[in-house]
Structures are given as structure tokens and as C-alpha cells.
Amino acid sequence: MRRIIDNDILTLLIRLIVGIIFIYASYYKIIDPQSFAKSIWFYHLVPGKLINIIAIILPWIELTAGIGLILGVYYKGSVALVNILTLFFIIALSMAIIRGISIDCGCFKAAAATSESAWETLKFDFGLVILTIFLVISRSKRWMLSQP
């Protein structure tokens, strides 16, 4: 089992998958911060005055962490951040579902008021967290531009 987890090619593949997902997820948020702020507001999880600053900064954290994973730069920090962010998204979506707020996640596009895709996104995030935890456990250090 250990040998599979530490496999260089498998680890690189998962780095690429997770990195591309995070870079892709950051794209609409960076080009349209107003819509992303709206998506955050929909969740009613953070105070209104903090929403815009989160909408301005969070996508860049996603982008930087995604690039860090792929290139192997600030690797440990990038792995920690993709895990923290994925867990945060799961908690936020779960709370929205529990509280009956009918939305999709706003992960890859602006959240819509009436979509019922929150469950679908939650399943996707649970799949993603398996990959991000894999990166925590794997000891592979190949194909990185700097020391992890």
C-alpha cells in the first residue's frame, strides 16, 4: 500500500488533477469578483463586511496553491491549502444544505438561487478531498521545482 501511495507517477497525476481543478475554479472568481461575492453571500456564513475581501483574495489563494501543486513550488503549503479549502467548501455546502438554502456551490461559476446541484457538488468535493489527503500522505518528492 505504501509503495502505491508513494508512487511518483501516481502522485504527479494527482498533483496535476487537483492543481488544474483549483486553477480552473479560480478563473471565474478572478474575472468576476462581484459574482463570486454574491455566491459567498448566498451561504450566509461570513459577516457581510468580510464578503468582498474574501472574494478578492480567496481565488488567488486557489490559483497560487494550484500552480504550487503542479510545479512543486511551496509544495507543503499548497497541499495544506488545498486540503483546508476543500474541507471548508464541504462544511459550507453541508451547512447550506442543512439550513435549506437552495443553491449550487458557486465553485466554478456564480451560484444560482434555485439550482438543486448542491448535493452533486458535495459528492464532487468528497471525491476531491480523497485526492488532497492522498497528497498529504504521499512521500513522493519527484518532479518538483523546489524542495517541498
Residues that bind another protein (CB under 8 A): 30-35, 37-38, 41-42, 44, 47-53, 55-57, 59-61, 63-65, 68, 74-78, 80-81, 99-101, 113-114
Identity of the residue numbered 60: W
Burial class (CB in 10 A: 0-12, 13-18, 19+), 12: middle
Q: Give the nearer residue to another protein in terms of CB position, either 7 or 33.
A: 33
C-alpha distances out from residue 44 to 40, 51, 96, 107, 126, Å: 7, 10, 8, 16, 22
* Min CB(104)–another protein separation in Å: 14
How far apart are the C-alpha atoms of 104 and 114, rounded to whole Å?
8
- % helix, strand, coil for the chain, step of 5: 70, 0, 30
**Least distance in angstroms from the C-beta of 89 to another protein:** 17
The residue (of 64 and 124) whose beta carbon lies closer to another protein is 64
Nearer to another protein, 99 or 123 (CB): 99
60: its cell numbers = 488567488
Scan for cell 509544495, then name that residue: 75
Tell me whether residue 18 or residue 124 sits nearer to another protein (CB atom).
18
Task: Compute the least distance from the CB of residue 137 to another protein, in Å.
Answer: 15
Minimum distance from residue 3 beta carbon to another protein (Å): 25
